[in-house]
Amino acid sequence: MNLNVDDLIKLVKQLSDRESAEKMVDLLKDKDVHLVDGSPTHEVVGDLLPTLRARAKNALRTGKIIYGLEESIRKIDKLDFPEVVLGYGFISSTGAGKMYISVDNTQVFGVTIVDR
């Protein structure tokens, strides 16, 4: 089941990182925002974590700010290897982001946002 923008905004409010939550809400409310590929991806935790850690390392090296990345890594790292999370990717004229949500669409594990 795909979630609508209002559902995603409600989930974002679960995040403890207020700055990242606000950035994601701003992105979701952008009139130009659209879901990448039209539906969420299914990400296996064991495959996703190395990718997120590599992004963190590259961001540190280049000085690029990726809002929410550290919190996303911390939360997803607590999940079991075979568990699957949904990745809702968004892009707009002002930024790009991804939300990582439980398969039952009840819990957000993190967001990553990059300003354009």
Tokens of 39: 């539906």
> What integer pLDDT is reported at residue 1 of this predicted model?
52
> What integer pLDDT is reported at residue 38 of this predicted model?
83
- At residue 79's C-alpha, the angle toward residues 111 and 66, to 5°, is 25
- The band of 98, judged by pLDDT with boundaries at 50, 70 and 90, is very high
| Residue pLDDT, tens place only, 17-72 | 999 999 999 999 999 999 898 889 999 999 999 999 999 999 999 999 999 999 99
Residue 114 φ/ψ, nearest 5 degrees:
-125, 130
Q: Which bin fits 80, alpha (ψ -120 to 50), beta or left (φ > 0)?
A: beta
Q: What is the mean pLDDT of residues 77-97?
A: 94
In the block, tokens 């594990």 appear at 109
Q: Which residues contact 51 (CB under 8 A, 6 or more apart)?
A: none
Any idea where the domains of the chain sit in the sequence?
5-115
Q: What is the mean pLDDT of residues 69-79?
A: 96
Lowest mean pLDDT among 13-17, 66-70, 74-78, 97-101: 13-17
Report the share of the chain in percent with pLDDT over 70. 98
- What is the sign of the dihedral through the CA atoms of 111, 112, 115 and 116? negative
Q: What average pLDDT does the chain have?
A: 93
